[in-house]
Each structure stands twice: as structure tokens, then as C-alpha cells.
Amino acid sequence: MRSAVIGSTGYLGTRLVPRLLARGDQVTVLVRSPEKLARSAWADRVDVVPGELGGDPAALAHLVEGADAVVHLVHALDHADFPERDRAGAHAVAEAAAAAGVGRIVYLGGLRPPGGDASRHLASRAEVADIFLASPVPTVALEASIVVGSGSASFEMIRYLAERVPVLPAIPWLHHRTQPIAVDDVLHYLVAATVLPPEVDRAFDVGGPDVLSYLDLVQRYARLAGLPQRIAVPLPVPVPPGGPTVAAAAMELLSPLPRTLVEPLVESLRHELVCGPSLAEAVAAMGPPPGGPTTYDSAVRAALGRRRDGADPAEWEPSPRPSSSDGDGAGPSSDDGSERPAALALATDPVGSGGATWRWRTRADARASARTVWSVLQRLGGDTGWYTPPGVFGALGWADQLLGGVGAYRGRPHGRDLVVGDVIDAWRVEALEPERLLRLRADLRVPGRLWLQFTVVPQGQGSRLDVELGFAPSGLAGVAYGAALRVGAPLVFPWMVRGIVGAAGS
């Protein structure tokens, strides 16, 4: 089957393409920014058509030529004139698909609010769906509310509200209901829709099993992330007409999300967005997601990197956003670790996706072998110490004990190699690959997740030691702690790396 994807470098596109490839499809993508596509692990497995959706009919015609299905996932929400841009793009796609004899258009839009009084964002999404449905090409328009997964703009708004705003103003829309859907469930419906028979030419509501208020979404996220419960306090004055603009400006200060993207989304929160009867019809036509519809709590756990076995929050994936060199999988079979789950942030997602994770890295070459450097890493902590400037870890432990924490010195195992779960002073072994990788998670009372990772790389007759200190902040205290790390890490950890390499005989 040949599938053409418009929006392959966007949030859903980067996760959909690997699934189509896994199904055996020949995939063609329209790409405006080749450098962004190059950051995807599957870039060399697709046919690339350079060009823009608007103003490049030749590129669009090339894209859809011979396609069995066209999946349309783009929107211009970050432009002030997004309704006009999206309308023109939809007409161009519909006309090109009809001329090429494409068998199916699949589009993901937004749920339609009752009464028809929609925000500009939702009205534009509905207009695009109607343009496709009015075309001669059989169309499935999937209509969803909030997509839950790291990298989704709506979900990132929930994340930053929960993590950085302990008290929410009780504006009316906080109590409006919505029906969120996990990103994996959306991908299931998108893939299934491409192979529906031609007589299926309609819109379907898609959503998860939970109907919750927007306040519920924030409070549940806080609980699942191990944060104090967020509360809503009534405003002493009515919400002004420019409320969405003010809220968008506040979100821009609290998060990396741009105001141009946030404001249309905030405006749409004034609606109740709950699926209608067509949700059951969607499940009947395309089948339920594997394992059944994903609950909101399960979707949040997946976005946080929490393991399916119900591990506690301390065992969450400590690095929610990979570097571009890590690639991305987002495929359907990620339980074995071969592909990065779709619910986690990818290197191609906007800055701040997956939380405002901060990393500091350094490296040092060693004349000693990788095995020798590894043996030094195996002895870190306890009586050996950490090769840091004198008093640094002692001060850290003293401060932690004042806060009721474990302190810096708890000893370490002796007479054997380290294993996952071992305690080394204020740290715990979280991941270990002999002679290659050691990742430690801090048991200190810090406002977020703090980890320290050592990677040993063979290099000729010697080796290289790479060190990463990472921190995923929680709350405003986490933001302040991260600022302190930015100052302190370059002063402390190069000293540590030089000490480890020196102890290995370099």
C-alpha cells in the first residue's frame, strides 16, 4: 500500500510514519524543512517530496500520485491567519487527491462543540473536515479533544500548569468537561482509517473512556507526577473578555510554549468537548485500540515514562526527551525497548516537550582501557569518595538532612560488582550495562528527578568517559534548583571526571 503523509515532521506525523512503515506501506512525505526530517530515524525509509502545502501544486501532485491514502495532519495554528491558511491547504489537497484518483483521505481534526458556537480554532478544524468530506475522495475525518502524550501542545499545557502553578484561578472553563485520548489510541485510529472500504465517507468522534473536567486533568496529572494537589481559588472579579489572551501570556511565561500556539487552544477550552454516539461507531468500524481504550491515568503514566508494571514514580524514565542522535521509533512494538514509545517526547518535538529537562554533559579521554575506567566507576562512593572538590558532597548531604532526607553518605556494597538497585551514598543504581553504562538516580530531597550517567566508550588503545548530569524539575522550586545546577555543575563535575580518569591511570 502507498500512503502519502502531509505533516510528517509534526507531533503526530513523526509517530504515525513508523507505524505505516511497520505495516509494510510505501510512504511518501511532503517536507518543507529537510533538516527537521533528517532528525527522524526513519528519514531514509520514505520517499521525500520537497515543497510547501500552500503555493506548490506541482509538489502536491507529485506527493499524491499513485497514493492509496493521503493522511492530512497539518495546521497553521501558530500563524494569526491560520483559518485562511488551513482552508487553502485543504482545498489544495482535496483537488490534488481527486485528480490523482486517490482512494482515501484521512484527517484528524477537533471535536465539534454542541450548539455550533465554536472557537476560531475548532471552527477551522471543522471547516477543513467539511472540505474533505465534500470532495469526491472518500474521507474519514477523525475528531478528537486533547491528545495525551509528551509533545502534544494541549498536554504540555496541562503539564506546565500542574507543575508550576500550585493554585489555579477558578475561571469557569476549568469545570468544562472534555474527553481526552491517548496518543497511541489516536495512532491506532489513523492507521486503521487508511484501509476502510470506500463506502465509509464520514466523520467519527474519537476519545478515551474518561470524561473529565479540565481541572480534573490538571489535578490527576499532579497526583500521578507525585506533586501536591493543585487547588482552584475563586476570582474576586469576573473574567475579562480578554481572558484567553491573558491566560496565553501567562502560559508563555510558565512554559516554552509560544503564545501564538497557546491562545487558540486556551480559547477552545470554553467549550465542553465530549464525544457523541459516533465514538462507538468508530470502534465498530476500525476496532478498539490494542488492549482497549486507554484511560487518562494510564496515558499520563505513559507520557511520564512510568513503567506498565506499576513501578513507583522514582522508577520513571529519567530522560524524557532524547537528543537528536538518539533517533525516534514511536512504533507500535516498543515494549522490548527497540523503539521509543509514542507517548514519550521525541527529538523532533518542540523545545520543552516532555517537561523542561535540563542536561549538562562533559567528557574526557583516557589512556586506560574501557575495562580499567569501568573498574574505577565500580568503586565510586563510600570510602573512595566521588573525586569532587573537598566538602561539596558533605555540604549537599547536610542540606538534604536538614530537609529530612537521606544525606550524602550511606555507604555502598563491597566485595562484588554493582547491580541495579544498589545504594551508593545519596544515589541509587538505576541502569547498568557492564563496562559501558552506569546511571545513578539521586535519592536526595530535590524538587524533581536528578540523575548522573557515566558512559565508557572504547577508543583505540584507550577509552573515553562521557558524563551526563540531568534534572527534570517539578514545580517552581524545581525551576530554581535547576538554575542553581546550571551554575554549580560546570564547577564540580569536570573535577570529578578528571579524577576518575586519573584514577584509571591516565
Tally of residues, the chain: 506
* pLDDT beyond 80 at 250: no
Residue 200 belongs to a domain = yes
The set of residues, in sequence order, having a beta carbon less than 8 Å from that of 207 and lying 6+ positions away, is 111, 144, 145, 179, 180, 181, 274, 275, 279
Average pLDDT over residues 465-479: 84
Q: Are residues 35 and 107 in the same domain?
A: yes
Q: Give the number of domains in the chain.
A: 2
Q: Are residues 48 and 124 in the same domain?
A: yes
Average pLDDT over residues 99-112: 96
Beta strands in 300-442 (DSSP E): 358-366, 423-424, 427-433, 437-442
pTM of the model: 0.78
Q: Name the DSSP class of 353.
A: T
Q: Are residues 180 and 269 in the same domain?
A: yes
Look up the CATH number of the domain holding residue 254: 3.40.50.720
- Identify which of 220, 318, 211, 216 has the alpha carbon closest to the alpha carbon of residue 274: 211
CA distances from 326 to 38, 229, 347, 415, 467 (A): 12, 35, 8, 35, 16
- Most confident range, picked from 15-24, 146-155, 173-182: 15-24
The set of residues, in sequence order, having a beta carbon less than 8 Å from that of 348 and lying 6+ positions away, is 9, 14, 36, 39, 40, 324, 328
Q: Are residues 36 and 119 in the same domain?
A: yes
Look up the CATH number of the domain holding residue 397: 3.30.530.20
Q: Are residues 382 and 465 in the same domain?
A: yes
Residue 167 belongs to a domain = yes
d(CA 109, CA 429): 44
Dihedral sign for Cα atoms in the order 275, 281, 285, 291? positive
Q: Are residues 316 and 365 in the same domain?
A: no
Residue 333 belongs to a domain = no
**Which pLDDT belongs to residue 332?**
39
Q: How confident is the model at residue 236 (pLDDT cuts 50, 70, 90)?
A: low
Q: How confident is the model at residue 369 (pLDDT cuts 50, 70, 90)?
A: very high
Least confident piece of the model among 270-284, 370-384, 386-400: 386-400
Q: Are residues 431 and 293 in the same domain?
A: no
Q: Which residue is listed with cell 538505576? A: 430
Domain span at 461:
358-503
Q: Name the DSSP class of 438.
A: E
Percentage above 90 pLDDT, the chain: 49
* pLDDT beyond 70 at 406: no
Residue 294 belongs to a domain = yes
**Residue 288 φ/ψ region, left for φ over 0, alpha for ψ in the -120 to 50 degree band, beta for the rest:** beta
Residue 368 belongs to a domain = yes
Q: Which residue is listed with cell 524533581? A: 448
Last residue of a domain, one of 326, 345, 374: 326
**Which pLDDT belongs to residue 338?**
37
What's the chain's average pLDDT? 84
Residue 201 belongs to a domain = yes
Residue 140 belongs to a domain = yes
- Most confident range, picked from 313-322, 392-401, 451-460: 451-460
* pLDDT tens by residue, 263-294: 778 788 888 999 999 999 999 999 999 999 99
**Which pLDDT belongs to residue 448?**
79
Average pLDDT over residues 300-323: 55
Last residue of a domain, one of 302, 326, 350: 326
* pLDDT beyond 70 at 487: yes
Are 435 and 448 within 8 A, CB to CB? Answer: no
* pLDDT tens by residue, 180-216: 999 999 999 999 999 999 999 999 999 999 999 999 9
Q: Are residues 35 and 142 in the same domain?
A: yes
Q: Are residues 43 and 190 in the same domain?
A: yes
- Identify which of 298, 169, 150 has the alpha carbon closest to the alpha carbon of residue 230: 169
Residue 109 belongs to a domain = yes
Q: How far, in whole angstroms, is CA 424 from its chain's centroid?
A: 31
Q: Are residues 319 and 435 in the same domain?
A: no
Q: Are residues 313 and 365 in the same domain?
A: no
**Which pLDDT belongs to residue 394?**
66
Q: Are residues 374 and 260 in the same domain?
A: no
Last residue of a domain, one of 276, 308, 326: 326
Q: Which amino acid, one-letter code, is at 42?
A: W
Q: How confident is the model at residue 348 (pLDDT cuts 50, 70, 90)?
A: confident
